[in-house]
């Protein structure tokens, strides 16, 4: 018999966070989170996302053993301001037992029905800065710190339970050696002169901070037309600054400004921390922090986390300035592989942005939808 329990206490939330560590124990491709950070991420006192969202954490038990988990999420800005009557679910993990999946997803349906919502979509997080989608192809590639990994049977469980495809995301990678540095240097100079733009490079994190709020303005303007977009609050931006910006190599963050020093484009790239996180096994101390710091300095793989161009400057070649900056930064470091985060399959603008890089789609992921009954 399968029973559900809502995780509320600190110890129960820790159990929630630890479940995948047993489900994927010694798995070659699963990348664990830092346990302490994940627990903090789920704490309403620490994560400002809870100012506009409700979340309930559920653990499924069978014979007194945890066999599944899920977070049922309502983003109230999405529901009340955007009039999207969506019940979200995320951080979904289960053993290969469809009855466990059914019990967990029925609970999500129940909460959605109680709140007069129309449909369920997942797995997704609270907003666009969270992980999204269940992996449906590419199981033999290592995960990243900003995506979920899962067993192949997850897709089958969703479809057997009547869920249908909502959105599909592609994950692509390319070899840095295939980037034409001469081409981007030439085009970058033309675009900078034509539109009176300037590239900003950084060596110190403190010099980046004054631009971060403006960066999110460009982010919102760039992504607001996507069907998945939910605005990021000022408090969430401050949380992001504290959690990520200080740990990202400052030279991996690139900005483009106009003649008035107003930000028009940005990109954030991170060293790949995947193998370091596997070695850390969810803990920073005593040795995990050293693995992460080593990866920060020496990783030959990088992940393109965020890239945005203000709508006023889209389709004008401004991205060439950003790529020119990266070719000049990455070449001396011996960077080998460039990995992109999940991008919507139907996002033609992003496809065009990357078309000259010989990208290879190595993973596909999907969110699933079902009407609330």
Check whether 271 has a pLDDT greater than 90.
Answer: yes
Average predicted confidence (pLDDT) for the chain: 94
What is residue 238's predicted lDDT score, i.e. its pLDDT?
Answer: 86
Residues 6+ apart with CB under 8 A from 1: 62
How far apart, in whole angstroms, are the C-alpha atoms of residue 123 and residue 125? 7
- Polymer length of the chain: 373
Give the burial class of 235: count Cβ atoms within 10 A of its Cβ; 0-12 exposed, 13-18 middle, 19 or more buried: middle
What CA–CA distances, in Å, run from 64 to 100, 179, 182? 13, 54, 62
Contact (Cβ atoms closer than 8 angstroms) between residue 201 and residue 254: yes
For the chain, list the domains and their CATH numbers.
2-170 (3.40.630.30), 174-365 (3.40.630.30)
Q: Which two tokens stand for residue 261?
A: 């020093």
Mean pLDDT for the stretch of residues 310-325: 94
Least confident among 125-129, 240-244, 280-284, 334-338:
240-244
Q: pLDDT > 70: what percent of the chain?
A: 99
Mean pLDDT for the stretch of residues 52-63: 97
Check whether 227 has a pLDDT greater than 70.
Answer: no
Mean pLDDT for the stretch of residues 258-270: 96
Q: pLDDT > 90: what percent of the chain?
A: 87
- pLDDT digits 0-9 by tens, 318-336: 999 999 999 999 999 999 9
Mean pLDDT for the stretch of residues 76-91: 96
What is residue 363's predicted lDDT score, i.e. its pLDDT?
Answer: 98
Residue 52 or 230, more confident: 52
How far apart, in whole angstroms, are the C-alpha atoms of residue 120 and residue 73? 10
Please, which pLDDT band fits residue 349 given cuts at 50, 70 and 90? confident
What is residue 45's predicted lDDT score, i.e. its pLDDT?
Answer: 94
What is residue 26's predicted lDDT score, i.e. its pLDDT?
Answer: 94
What is residue 353's predicted lDDT score, i.e. its pLDDT?
Answer: 82
Check whether 228 has a pLDDT greater than 70.
Answer: no
H helices of 42-148, in order, are 76-80, 98-114
What is residue 225's predicted lDDT score, i.e. its pLDDT?
Answer: 76
- pLDDT digits 0-9 by tens, 209-220: 999 999 999 998
Q: Which of 136, 104, 97, 100 is nearest to 120 (CA)?
A: 104
What is residue 354's predicted lDDT score, i.e. its pLDDT?
Answer: 87
């Amino acid at each position: 018999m399968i029973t559900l329990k809502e995780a509320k206490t600190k110890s129960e939330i820790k159990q929630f966070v630890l479940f995948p560590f047993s489900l994927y124990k010694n798995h070659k491709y699963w990348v664990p989170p830092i346990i302490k950070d994940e627990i903090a991420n789920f704490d309403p006192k620490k994560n400002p996302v809870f100012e506009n969202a409700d979340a309930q954490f559920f653990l499924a038990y069978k014979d007194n053993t945890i066999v599944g988990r899920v977070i049922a999420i309502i983003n109230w800005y999405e529901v009340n301001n955007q009039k999207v009557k969506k019940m979200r679910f995320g951080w979904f993990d289960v053993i290969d037992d469809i009855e466990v999946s059914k019990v967990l997803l029925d609970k999500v349906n129940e909460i959605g029905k109680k709140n007069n919502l129309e449909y369920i979509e997942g797995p997704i997080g609270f907003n666009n800065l969270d992980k999204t989608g269940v992996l449906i192809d590419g199981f033999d590639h290592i995960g990243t710190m900003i995506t979920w990994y899962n067993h192949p049977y997850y897709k089958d469980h969703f479809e057997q339970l009547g869920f249908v495809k909502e959105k599909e995301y592609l994950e692509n990678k390319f070899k840095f050696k295939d980037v034409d540095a001469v081409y981007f240097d030439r085009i970058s100079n033309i675009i900078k002169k034509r539109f009176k733009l300037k590239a900003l490079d950084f060596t110190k994190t403190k010099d980046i901070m004054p631009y971060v709020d403006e960066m999110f303005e460009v982010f919102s303007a760039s992504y607001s037309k996507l069907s998945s977009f939910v605005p990021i609050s000022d408090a969430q931006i401050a949380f992001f600054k504290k959690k990520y910006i200080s740990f990202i190599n400052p030279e991996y963050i690139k900005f483009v400004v106009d003649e008035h020093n107003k930000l028009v484009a940005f990109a954030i790239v991170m060293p790949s921390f995947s193998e370091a996180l596997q070695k850390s096994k969810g803990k920073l101390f005593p040795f995990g922090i050293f693995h992460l710091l080593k990866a920060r300095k020496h990783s030959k793989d990088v992940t393109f986390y965020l890239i945005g161009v203000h709508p006023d400057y889209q389709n004008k070649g401004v991205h060439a300035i950003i790529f020119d900056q990266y070719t000049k930064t990455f070449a001396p470091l011996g960077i080998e592989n460039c990995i992109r985060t999940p991008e919507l399959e139907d996002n033609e603008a992003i496809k065009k942005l990357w078309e000259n890089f010989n990208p290879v789609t190595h993973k596909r992921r999907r969110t699933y939808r079902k009407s609330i009954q």
